[in-house]
Amino acid sequence: MKIKLTSASYSVRSIKFSFCSNLLAKPRKPSLFLGRGIEIILFFSYFKDLVGREVTVELKNDLAIRGTLHSVDQYLNIKLENTRVVDQDKYPHMLSVRNCFIRGSVVRYVQLPPDGVDIELLHDATRREARGG
Amino acid sequence: MNLRFKRATGPGLESLVDQTILIITNDGRNIVGVIKGFDQATNIILDESHERVYSTKEGVQQLVLGLYIIRGDNISVVGELDEELYSALDLSNLRAHPLMPVIH
């Protein structure tokens, strides 16, 4: 299953509930916080729960890197361990790299394990965020 | 969890300082060097750097660059170079298309 990260997903408003723990609680009105930066928390929380799983990151330069998700940060920069490029004959450029840091702005897709996605949970969370904004 | 109260932490590149790394830039260049420093915008100071140019006609070319600062918005991948795997590569026989530039 692919989640496409377009530039639209970075423009947002801060929301007060955290993704997994608070999902069934009543959603509170998001504050219009325009200070230091506006953060999208939903996917950040989602990826933090996915740490340790095997994912394939497809970049905007068509390179696809498979590896174990080590960490993610607020910009959705991704650190992968045990990496290998999906098509190693076509892209031998990263043959000697086993751990890498991928800048969030350059990710096109993050391909997830099918059992890593709780579709109902994500559906509710995004619906709530859309409504609350 | 209210993340707006947390300071923006920089990219987790502390573990890579003083290690040999490979940077893939937005225009598809491969630059190898030693990280000396970085900041929150992922600007990187790279020492002893050289660029590896891949082509389909001749083997891999290495262009020596020296001490470089690479601006963060131009960086797509920072990879930790494994010395053993790197020395096992036969660069003169490697033929590949150069990497595509990033298209947003």
**Which structural domain, as residue segments, surrounds residue B71?**
14-88
B68 located within any domain: yes
Instruction: Give residue-wise pLDDT tens across range A10-67.
Output: 444 444 444 444 445 455 444 444 333 334 678 888 898 889 999 999 999 999 999 9
B5 located within any domain: no
Which of A33, A96, A98 lies closest to B89 in CB terms?
A: A96
B96 located within any domain: no
Q: Greater confidence, B93 or B51?
A: B51
Tell me which residue of A109, A101, A121, A103 sits closest to A49, measured CA to CA: A121
pTM above 0.80, yes or no: no
The distance of B39 to chain A (nearest Cα, Å) reads 13
How many folded domains does chain B comprise?
1
CATH number at residue B32: 2.30.30.100
ipTM: 0.86
Beta bridge partners of A79: A71, A101
B19 located within any domain: yes
B28 located within any domain: yes
